[in-house]
Structure 1
Amino acid sequence: MLYEFLLPLTQYESGFNIFRYISFRAAGAAITSLLVCFVVGPWILARLRGMQVHQVVRAGTPDTHAGKGKTPTMGGLIILAAVVTSTLLWMQLRSKYVWLALGVTVLMGAIGFLDDYLKLKQKREGKENRGLVERYKLAGQVTIGLALGFYLWQHPINNLPGASTTLPFYKYVLMNFTVAWLYVPFVTFVMTGFSNAVNLTDGLDGLAAGLMAIAMLTMAMFAYVMGRFDASEYLGLIYLRGAGELTVFCSAVFGAAVGFLWYNAHPAEVFMGDTGSLALGGSLGAVAILLKSEFLLVIVGGVFVAETFSVVIQRSAFKWRKRRFGLEFAQKNRVFLRAPIHHHFELKGWPETQVVVRFWIIGILCAFVALSTLKIR
């Protein structure tokens, strides 16, 4: 918005030319997100406390989490307020990239908000805290993925075919889908998978928010170089015209995640709930899809992938052992002490803060591996 309003003033003052630079607007977006979190955070937190919007402790979590049932949830509203405000303020309003990423983020956040609201309502009515029925929540995520995939397939927003993607570690390799319509379920899988992956990871104070900040800062770097013809040519990346504007959006999400950590660091004053985790997961998936970098996302979000696979392995192994050897054997011979895997390390004796910081370190390592693909081609 500032771009449209202030850039025309360059005819009177050359200093306004600075708004042409994506790097300047990305920095402005990150700072603005931080400030919005600091401004609206205390107000939203006070409202959540007043409404007694408390966290519903998931079944199967360690006993040390019992006290977290009195911590407010739905703090993802802080993240959404920061991302939407900052992005609209610093983006180019004609950028389809940013509008699509922002739209996915808000819609995913809306699904999460509905889930959190229903859990709160059911808790007050003394009912089982199931929230939004799982198949309905999944249906909403799948619908968003299908809509994005179909739109990108039928209306490509850059110079590449709609039904295509790129591969990390390979120079100028574009993978076209032989059966074009398969691109739509592929996008849906990525979108649904990563929105749920962040949701599963959001189990410890500051864990998901910190990992999202690391992942989004990494994706911001990729968006910037892929949106510049000179940089993409030098690094052997496929140039995506207009993709650089996603740097602004990624920076806004980065700032919001860091700002939310102010309230979510141990001991957490508020949890993001599904409102925040689904929105953040959706934003990360959307950016990777728009940058044709879905396979790169497996590296950037390596911790999220590991968390998800730990749940899949745990459940699959339990069902197989139960069917083959009986319930008692399956309960005594689990792959992990508890899933997702961050709970496994808690039960191994690691303090919560130690698990979080070590997972952040692994997230940073994943980011460096992803960035190394810029030169290892």
Structure 2
Amino acid sequence: MLYYLFHYLDQLDFPGAGMFKYISFRSGMALIFSLFISTIIGKKIIDKLQYMQIGEIVRDLGLEGQMSKKGTPTMGGIIIIIAIIIPCLLFGRLENIYMLLMLITTVWLGAIGFLDDYIKVFKKDKEGLHGRFKIIGQVGLGLIVGLTLYLSPDVVIRENVYAKNTNNEEVIKYMPENIKSTQTTIPFLKNNNFDYADLVPFLGENAQIAGWIIFILVTIFIVTAVSNGANLTDGLDGLATGSSAIIGVTLGILAYLSGHIAYASYLNIMYIPGTEELVVFASAFIGATIGFLWYNAFPAQVFMGDTGSLTLGGIIAVFAILIHKELLIPVLCAIFLVEDLSVMIQVAYFKFTKKKYGEGRRFFKMAPLHHHFQKQGNSGIDAIIQRPFRAIPESKIVVRFWIVGIILAVITIVTLKMR
């Protein structure tokens, strides 16, 4: 909103109004405002949650310090959502299709998570919202994002191609026109553009339409997988929040590079007009998560609940899709992916051993993976499989996961030149 006000004032030669034309200025202001909201206003929300006795319901899993978390205010994801939306409304260009999709994602998954937490806290149903309804909501969001990218005339790319100059040297050039395309970026490869339509070349003229169908299905899968991964990661104080902040910084950098034709050309990645506006959203996202971490770090004064964790994962997934970097998610979001896989492996191994030996066994001491490191090791053959033997303090597990997240973020950015 302020963007449009100062754009009008700039036409009247109002001093300083022209600053709002620059992404760097608006991104910086979004970061500052989101930090202010999540820390100052966030404290008031936490006090209100305590007054309303909206406390975490904790099951005794035999983990050190676990029961001390009982009664800690939950549903703090409201703070993150507010701290993202308000700065974006103030400093973002609201006609930008990418900004609109990110705001819809934030509200959509925030509402699903809020409903889940509401059922747990107020209805005293520890299962919360039934899993099928969460999946329906995630699939619905994937459809909205995928179909919007297909139908909107504003969603275009400028394809990067290799060419020879007068000295017979390879240079990067861009096609003369913007096009709608299902191309995405493949890491580590020199010719790094991949078109989903190439998966169905036998369809001839219909291959492009089929490519969009495949793209929409991929979008649904990624939104569901990453949002659930973030939800599973939210089990230790500050783990999901800090990891998301690191990922947010990386996505913000990638969005800025993709939306700037000079930098995109230098890195040999496709130029995506309009994605530079996502830097404003990324700045608000970073500020919101860091500000929330002020209260969520060990020992946590508030938990985000599904209101926050589903929202964070969905934002990360949709953001990566909008900048055509969804194939980098397995690297950038490897922590979320491993948390997902640890649960799947645990369940599969338990069922397999129960069928084979008549008694179910566990591959990990506990799943998701972060609880495996938190739990004291067993004796015998299980101790060999289920390392480490000793429990690691919660705060150390979280910091180590953050360090791994930083390494993954650096690798993700380096992949743009590592080919």
Question: What's the TM-score bracket when you normalise by the shorter of the two chains?
Answer: over 0.9
Q: Give, in angstroms, the shift of residue 60 of structure 1.
A: 4.8
Gap change, CA 1:173 and 1:61, over 3 Å in 2: farther
Alignment partners' CA distance in 1, 2:142 and 2:57: 27
Counterpart of 1:140?
137
Corresponding position: 1:339 with 2:339: no
Check the 8 A contact 1:152/1:162 in 2, yes or no.
Answer: no
Corresponding position: 1:367 with 2:409: yes
Alignment partners' CA distance in 2, 1:90 and 1:53: 33
Counterpart amino acid of 1:161? K
Secondary structure of residue in 1 paired with 2:194: strand
1:1-377 equivalences under 5 Å are: 1-10=1-10, 11-13=12-14, 15-57=16-58, 60=61, 62=63, 64-123=65-124, 128-155=125-152, 157-159=155-157, 160-171=179-190, 173-178=192-197, 179-180=210-211, 181-327=213-359, 330-331=360-361, 334-347=362-375, 348-377=390-419
**Higher fraction of helix:** 1
Greater shift in the superposed pair: 30-39 or 168-177:
168-177
Check the 8 A contact 1:199/1:281 in 2, yes or no.
Answer: yes
Q: Give, in angstroms, the shift of residue 165 of structure 1.
A: 2.1
Check the 8 A contact 1:105/1:283 in 2, yes or no.
Answer: yes
Q: CA RMSD in A?
A: 1.6
Secondary structure of residue in 2 paired with 1:335: coil
Q: Give, in angstroms, the shift of residue 303 of structure 1.
A: 1.2
Q: Give, in angstroms, the shift of residue 244 of structure 1.
A: 0.7
Alignment partners' CA distance in 2, 1:254 and 1:207: 15
Greater shift in the superposed pair: 247-256 or 7-16:
7-16
Check the 8 A contact 1:161/1:176 in 2, yes or no.
Answer: no
Counterpart of 2:385?
none
Gap change, CA 1:165 and 1:58, over 3 Å in 2: farther
Greater shift in the superposed pair: 305-314 or 4-13:
4-13
1:120-148 CA-to-partner distances (Å, cap 9, x unmatched) read 1232xxxx411111111111111111221
Percentage of identical aligned residues: 43
1:290-310 CA-to-partner distances (Å, cap 9, x unmatched) read 011111122111211111111
Alignment partners' CA distance in 2, 1:54 and 1:82: 22
Q: Which runs of 5+ in 1 are unaligned?
A: none
Aligned length: 369
Secondary structure of residue in 2 paired with 1:285: helix
1:48-68 CA-to-partner distances (Å, cap 9, x unmatched) read 111111112257573531221
Secondary structure of residue in 2 paired with 1:64: coil
Q: Give, in angstroms, the shift of residue 42 of structure 1.
A: 1.8
Alignment partners' CA distance in 2, 1:45 and 1:285: 28
Q: Give, in angstroms, the shift of residue 227 of structure 1.
A: 0.1
Secondary structure of residue in 1 paired with 2:300: coil
Q: Which runs of 5+ in 2 are unaligned?
A: 158-178, 198-209, 376-389
Counterpart amino acid of 2:186? L
Of structures 1 and 2, the larger Rg is shown by 2
